[in-house]
Structures are given as C-alpha cells and as structure tokens.
Structure 1
Amino acid sequence: MRITIVGGGIVGLSTAWALTKRGHAVTLVERAGLPNPLSASGDHHRIIRRAYGGADGYARTITEAFEAWEALWRDLGHRHLDAVGVLCVSQKPGDEAEQFREGLDRGGYAYRRFDPEEAAARWPFLDAAALRYAFLSEEGGALHCRRIAADLAAWLAARGVVLRTHTEVAAVDTAQARVVTSAGETIEADRVVVAAGAWVLRLFPDLAGTLALFRQALAYVTPPADLAAAWAKAPVLLDIGGDADGYAIPPSGGGGLKFGSGRHKVPADDPDADRTPRPGEGETIRRWFSPPIARIEDYAIADVVTCAYTFTADKRFFLSPRGRTLVVSACSGHGYKFGAAVGRRVAEAAETGDVEGLERWLKAELPAQA
C-alpha cells in the first residue's frame, strides 16, 4: 500500500519504520526538520520506566515497549538508551512517588528501597531531612530523542521512504486518503496516518473537546561542582515526591541535567506561540525542587526549553479512525517511552484494519501481546 504519514515525531517516524519493514511505500510529511526542535522529539532526552503509579495497564505494556526499542536499536545499529534505572523519593504519605511504588508492588516488579540517610549517602544531591524513603527500579532510564530521530530519518531515507520536510499540511481528506499541503499540492495514498502531536488540532479542530493543548517549560541546570560527578552517574529521578510533580534527567545523550515539573504547564491555544522562555522561568522551575534537592540555589540555570503537548482527560493515548485515515496522539507527555511499540501497532492496524484492537492496546485495556 501507499501510506502517507503526517508528522515526524516519534510516533510518525516509528510508524514509518514499521510500515517500511512490512513492505509498504511510505511518504512522511513534516512541517519542520527532522527532528522538529519544537516537538517532543526535538529535546535531548525523555524518561522510560516500568513504574506507572495507578496505570497498571501501561506498566504491563512497557514490556512490549522495551522489546520494540531493542528491535529498533538492531536496525539503527545504535542503542540510544541510557539504562541507568529510575529513582523516586517520597516526601509525604500518598504522594506520587508512593503511588509509583504501590504500582510496582501490585505488578510484582522488583525495586530496592532506601531509608533517608542511605539514599542521601548514595545520592548526595538529596536532602535526607526531606525524605520518608527512596526506591530504585532498575527498569528504565533516558531515551535520547534527537539521536533517535536523526538515525530513524537516515534509516528511512536509505530505504526509499519519501521524507517531505519543511512541508506544512493544510488539510486531510480522510475518506479519500488525500493530504493537501499549504502550497496546494495533493499527495494521494491508500491510507493516511496523522501523528501530528501538538499540531493535530489545526487539522482536526473538532477534537478540541477531547484533546487539550498545554505549554510546558523545562530547565537545564548546572549542578554545584562537587555534585557534578554524583549527577553524572545518577539514575533518572522519576519523581521528587511531595506536591511538585517534579522529575530530573541526569546528563545523557548530549543533554545536560534537566529539571521538569508537571505543575509548570499552562493551557495553550497555539503550539507555535509562547515558545520563547519567559524571564525568570528557569528559576521558577528550579524552586519546585527544594525540597528534596539540597542546596538548590547553587544550581545555575543553563538553558530553558519549551514543549507543547496534547492531553486527554484520562491521560491515555488517543485514536480517531476516520475513513481511510487514523489520527493517533500519544498524549499526556508520557507517550515517547512507548514510541517504537506504538509505531509497530499503528502500522499493523493500518495494514490489517484492526482499529478496535489498536484502540484497546493504546488505552492499555488488555495485557500487551508480543
């Protein structure tokens, strides 16, 4: 089949990879370069983990995600994953870190627990006085987004995939599987997959009641010199506990130490607007990390980057089948870690027509099948 993919983020690229391996003729249309610096694939790194709190279905599905990434590494010839494990610290009963631990308990997944003094001795950037406990899951680490996107684009180009970068899509005729560019060109296909991320609402504004757009900023920081070595060999800090919804990714994949907080996101109307960091925004993000990060004022702000995400009310992936078109959104900021597996599943559905099976899988309603 001839299949057009709209969007060159991780879902679009992975779907193109999987469809190409299935023998289909693929054209991928991306509004910017590969990677798009404003997309989730344009940043240095993202977290992959087993710990999933109350979303037990996704905790199971991550097994398939790990396997799909390994298949991708074999094709690319590079393993763009720093498998350093993930660390959570709990500051008060019932906080998100504790919910992550309880999810691991329900699934019977292994982790190692540390008391506050032991955790601070092992990871000296932590303030023992702020902790109830910490725990380390060996399953997970940091995926290197830019390197994945660049290598996937090269792999696809070498196998005849047509990569239409810097090409804006103005409309999709979902019934006829036609894509119309802003220059007025029509791209004909047998199937279309739309994986446009934060830009999907421009093509399908009727989804605004289901998908909500948010702007988020992340801070790259330089730790105190005496803690640089500790951070360089640290696991991903998946959750800092308390109310901050904060996480940190140590230097990896060409990127420095990154601080992010789910509390630092705001509703947005346009994924291209308000993408310049605001004055003092890095310092605002940094403040969310005290406690439990000790000496927080000694962390210098090196850079601030912005992201745009679509979110669903249930924080699950989204699928909208429309005629000969599949509209897919790896929602809620957690989609990247499943990218290779999502691509394989979307490719299968585009080929077989099993849209209901894809939707169940995307929502993690059934245990993942290899």
Structure 2
Amino acid sequence: MSAGNGPAGDRRRFLVVGAGLAGASAAWHLARRGHAVTVVERDVPASAAGSSHGSARILRFAYPDLDYVQWVQEATAGWRELAEVSGTQVLTPTVALDYGVTRNPAALAAVLARAGVAHELLTPDQARGRWAGLRPDTDVLAHPGWVIDAESTVHAMLGQAQSHGAHVESGFSVAGLTRTPTGLSARAADGRTVDADHVVIAAGGWLPDLLDGLDLPAGFRAAIPGFTVREENAFHFPYRDQGAARWPTLIHKRPEMAVYSLPGDRDAGFRGQKVAEYEGGSVIGSATHGSGTVDQANRARVVEYVREFLPGLDPEPYAETTCLFTTTPSEDFVIDTANDVTVLSACSGHGAKFAPLLGRWAADTALAGTAVVPRFGVQRETAGV
C-alpha cells in the first residue's frame, strides 16, 4: 500500500498508542492528511499519571544548539496554527529567563543572535530591577517565551484529529502487538483489539515496558538509546504580591542544582509559581513503577532554593505533584520507523514546546519508512543538547 497523502487508494490505517502531547500531535497530522487513525490511551487523554497533564509547560527559544533554536522557531508556527484552527488558547505569553553559572547566558545569547531571536542580556541588578521577586546570581538572558497549557493542547489536537475522522479510545492498555496477514493488531488488557497498517508508539514513560513486544528488527531494537524515566516533583508557591505583573519563566543552572520555574496558571489557581528541580526525582525504570508520592528530600531542597533565590514567593508550597520525565542520554528525541512501527519519544524533559512539530515529524517518518530527521534516527549517535 502506498504511503502517499492524496487519493483514496493511498489511505492507510494508523494506530497511535498514547494520547499525550506527542501522540495527539501525531494523530492530528496523520488524520488531516486523510489517513484512518485510531488513538488508544491506557487512561484518559492528558492523564494526570503521564507527562502531558496540567496547564504549565515552558515554551522558550534558548538552547546552546542552533538546530534546536531553529526547531523552536518552526514549532511556533505550528502552535499558532493549532490555536487558530481549534479556537483554543494553548499559549500565554510571558518572558523567558536563563541564568546561572552552568547555564552560560552569554553563550546562549550568541546562539539566539545567530537565529535572529530577539533577546537581552541583563546584569543581576538590572534583572532584579525588572523582576523584584527574583535574586539572580549571574547575568540574565531574557527573550520571548510562553506558558503552554498542555492539557488544553492535547484536547485541541485530538479534537482536530477527530474532525478529520480519527477515533479515540480511552482505558486501552496495550497488552501486546502481533502481526497479521494484513498488518498489525494491538490487543488491550480487556480483550479489545485494533487492527492497523502502521503503529506509532508514543507511550512516554511506559515506552520501556512496550519496546520488547513490538517485533522490531534486532539491530534496530538494540540501537534504540536507553530511556531514563524519573518521577519528578513540582511545587507551587504563592506570590507574595498577588497584584504584581505576570512572572517570567526561568531556568537557573548551578553546579549544585538546576531549577526551572513558571507561572502555574490554572494548575495553581492563578496565584502561584511552579518550581521544580530538573532531574531531582527518583529514577523508576518505567511509569509502571511510579508511586505518585512527593519526595520529601526533594521538597526540602526546592523550599530552600525558593528562600534563597525567589524572595517574591512565600517559601511554603500550597500544592505539589509528581510528573514523569523520560529522557535519553543525549536528550535528543527518538523518532524512527522499522517494520511498520514508529517509535516516538518526545523526551518530556524538554519536548513539550515542540509538540506540533513532533507530530509532523512522526507522521512524515511513518509515511516515509525512515527517520526524516536523521539526528533522531536510532542508528546515529548524537551530541548532548
């Protein structure tokens, strides 16, 4: 069967496993091209047990790697399109800040300059004068940023996929994938089955549990990088001045600790800032082993950080949660295909901002039968981000 996008004879049956940001985006891009798409989700779309729930993810441009900066520029066009076609507010503008000794704001600024992204480099005093609630310890890079409403984005993408004929099934935990004379068949734990010509696996933190049952070529399977799944912790701290201007997003990296922070928006009742230590949670192997319990030592580290560096926040969190982070050793994504199975790992440590682009890449890769972005192919070693 052809992998084209036009006549009815080119129409293929796709199964997308996982209804988070990556899977919803892949479904949207495949369905809009005229393919028959079924999305199955072990829980519900944007499940609180996964990586794509809630209203607070960061969209920023700053990377030390020019490729990633340019991909963010490309992704922003997809965000604008999604907002327009769905009528959903998926982004809220703010300012993105980067600072800290190991963040190297000046080097990041040089990369943004090469990409033509507007930015400023501020001294610590200048930054404190503009954002009185912060206490930066180095120069600060400031550039345009947004807060992503992840949950609304998932539903907007799935809504668009459904408008093009896609079907979404919740409570479908994939227990196995088998080959049939006409393609592939996925079986749920409750006995339901879905047949397809091609399967896109966008299972996030559950991906390690599924890989060995996908009937992938041995060489391809062996070349897939190891995934590290962490149960991260995030905390919401109230603003001391509830009437202050909207807070920025920030990434602050020091040798001792890397922290990210952003307005919590709906998740925080619009009255607090989300603060978390990057890769501060426990390594759990796969999402199956998540406890849903906040680590108290991590909580204490973040509280102490807020006391020292975010004086505009009350250092007592009023809400807290866990969240899954799935990363590769290089922090690159994995988007590649073999035997009519496309593996799509968005790497939730920094993948949310690329959601519209990841779905397009996954659709292109599935239809082409090879990685359309060679850097994300499983046979290639890549440098860290």
1:113 to 1:358, Cα distance in 2 relative to 1, 3 A: closer
In the TM superposition, 1:180-199 aligns within 5 A as 180-199=187-206
Measured in 1, the distance between the counterparts of 2:376 and 2:39 equals 24
1:158 to 1:357, Cα distance in 2 relative to 1, 3 A: closer
Measured in 1, the distance between the counterparts of 2:276 and 2:175 equals 33
2:88 is equivalent to residue 78 of structure 1:
yes
2:311 is equivalent to residue 304 of structure 1:
no
TM-score, normalising length: structure 1? 0.87
Q: Which one-letter code corresponds to 1:84 in the other structure?
A: T
SS of the residue aligned with 1:177? strand
Deviation string 1:288-340 (CA, Å, 9 cap, x unpaired) is 345432266x3221111111222111110013423011011012511111011
* Partner residue in 1 for 2:243: 229
**Contact 1:316–1:362, Cα closer than 8 Å, also in 2:** no
* Partner residue in 1 for 2:34: 23
Measured in 1, the distance between the counterparts of 2:324 and 2:128 equals 34
The alpha carbon displacement at 1:237 in A equals 1.5
Q: What are structure 1's unaligned runs of at least 5 residues?
A: 366-370
1:359 to 1:187, Cα distance in 2 relative to 1, 3 A: farther
In the TM superposition, 1:317-332 aligns within 5 A as 317-331=333-347
SS of the residue aligned with 1:131? coil
Measured in 2, the distance between the counterparts of 1:95 and 1:351 equals 38
2:77 is equivalent to residue 62 of structure 1:
no
Deviation string 1:195-250 (CA, Å, 9 cap, x unpaired) is 000001111146786212222111111122x3x333x5122123365642111102
Segments ≥4 residues shifted beyond 4 Å: 96-99, 205-209
**Worse overlay, 186-195 or 202-211:** 202-211
Measured in 2, the distance between the counterparts of 1:9 and 1:332 equals 10
SS of the residue aligned with 1:229? coil
Paired residue for 1:166, among 145, 164, 171?
A: 171
2:129 is equivalent to residue 121 of structure 1:
yes
In the TM superposition, 1:88-237 aligns within 5 A as 88-90=98-100, 92=101, 94-127=102-135, 131-138=137-144, 140-173=145-178, 176-205=183-212, 210-224=226-240, 226=241, 228-230=242-244, 232-237=245-250
Paired residue for 2:58, among 37, 43, 47?
A: 47
Q: Which one-letter code corresponds to 2:363 in the other structure?
A: A
**Worse overlay, 238-247 or 141-150:** 238-247
**Contact 2:306–2:315, Cα closer than 8 Å, also in 1:** no
1:153 to 1:108, Cα distance in 2 relative to 1, 3 A: closer
* Partner residue in 1 for 2:18: 7
Measured in 1, the distance between the counterparts of 2:341 and 2:85 equals 27
CA-atom RMSD in angstroms: 2.5
The alpha carbon displacement at 1:134 in A equals 1.7
**Contact 1:31–1:165, Cα closer than 8 Å, also in 2:** yes
Deviation string 1:246-285 (CA, Å, 9 cap, x unpaired) is 1110243554410011141221124142212244643332
Measured in 2, the distance between the counterparts of 1:149 and 1:183 equals 25
Measured in 2, the distance between the counterparts of 1:121 and 1:350 equals 50
**Contact 2:103–2:252, Cα closer than 8 Å, also in 1:** no
**Contact 1:240–1:292, Cα closer than 8 Å, also in 2:** no
1:268 to 1:342, Cα distance in 2 relative to 1, 3 A: same
Q: What are structure 2's unaligned runs of at least 5 residues?
A: 1-11, 213-220, 381-385
* Partner residue in 2 for 1:368: none
Q: How many residues align?
A: 353
**Contact 1:260–1:285, Cα closer than 8 Å, also in 2:** yes
Q: Which one-letter code corresponds to 1:282 in the other structure?
A: R
